[in-house]
């Protein structure tokens, strides 16, 4: 089981490394960046989904390794987790120039890779990081909460259905939002507790 998951994820990685169809491919090569495929345990019960890699991520090939990543690590630690215990990825796997929002055509191109990652890992819970990722996942799973604001949905356990079975969606604020806004940071610390029932 684990072996085939690793192999399947490896295939995705190989396809993404050679993903010349992406408008972000050239920018990656010009800057000597790496695609950021995902990291962590292929058998994880908890999957985190962010938006797109930033500079630190594109330089290292790892998701959430910059300042936002440190916030994520602290949130994980607060419920007794390390990043090796979960799976972390993004919707878009290459860095958009100057960290601009990914364009709809880019999201469309990269979405099938994320859908395959979800189908391989079969998480019990998907924690979305930020509004963008929340909307993507609510749309993907055709959930009735699509269209509601993150300010209303953050920290809730929303019951959804994926191809492989039941999945809970927990919308979280993006870890970068916690830098300057102390009340958001407090909300994030409380919201992450919604993941505790899934900690084995």
Residues lying near ligand URA in the complex (CB under 6 A): 50-54, 57, 63-64, 68, 90, 129
Residue number, 95 or 158, with CB nearest to ligand URA: 95
Distance of alpha carbon 102 from alpha carbon 134, whole angstroms:
14
Backbone angles phi, psi at 178, to 5 degrees: -80, -5
Residue closest to ligand URA (Cβ): 50
Smallest distance, Å, CB 144 to ligand URA? 25
As to burial, measured by CB atoms within 10 angstroms (0-12 exposed, 13-18 middle, 19+ buried), residue 108 is exposed
Q: Give the side-chain half-sphere CA count within 13 A for 156.
A: 13
Q: Give the side-chain half-sphere CA count within 13 A for 30.
A: 8
Smallest distance, Å, CB 74 to ligand URA? 15
Smallest distance, Å, CB 90 to ligand URA? 5
Residue number, 42 or 63, with CB nearest to ligand URA: 63
Residue number, 42 or 69, with CB nearest to ligand URA: 69
């Amino acid at each position: 089981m684990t072996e085939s998951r690793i192999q399947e994820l490896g295939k995705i990685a190989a396809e993404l490394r050679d993903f010349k169809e992406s408008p972000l491919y050239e920018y990656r090569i010009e800057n000597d960046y790496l695609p950021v495929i995902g990291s962590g345990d292929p058998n994880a019960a908890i999957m985190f989904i962010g938006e797109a890699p930033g500079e630190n991520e594109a330089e290292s090939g790892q998701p959430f390794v910059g300042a936002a990543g440190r916030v994520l690590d602290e949130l994980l630690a607060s419920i007794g987790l390390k990043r090796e215990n979960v799976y972390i990825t993004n919707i878009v796997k290459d860095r958009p120039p100057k960290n601009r929002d990914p364009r709809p055509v880019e999201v469309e191109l990269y979405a099938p890779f994320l859908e395959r990652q979800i189908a391989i890992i079969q998480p019990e819970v998907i924690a979305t990081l930020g509004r963008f990722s929340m909307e993507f996942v609510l749309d993907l799973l055709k959930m009735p909460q699509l269209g509601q604001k993150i300010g209303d949905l953050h920290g809730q356990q929303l019951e959804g259905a994926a191809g492989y079975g039941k999945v809970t969606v927990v919308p979280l604020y993006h870890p970068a939002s916690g830098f300057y806004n102390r009340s958001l940071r407090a909300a994030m610390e409380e919201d992450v507790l919604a993941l505790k029932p899934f900690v084995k």
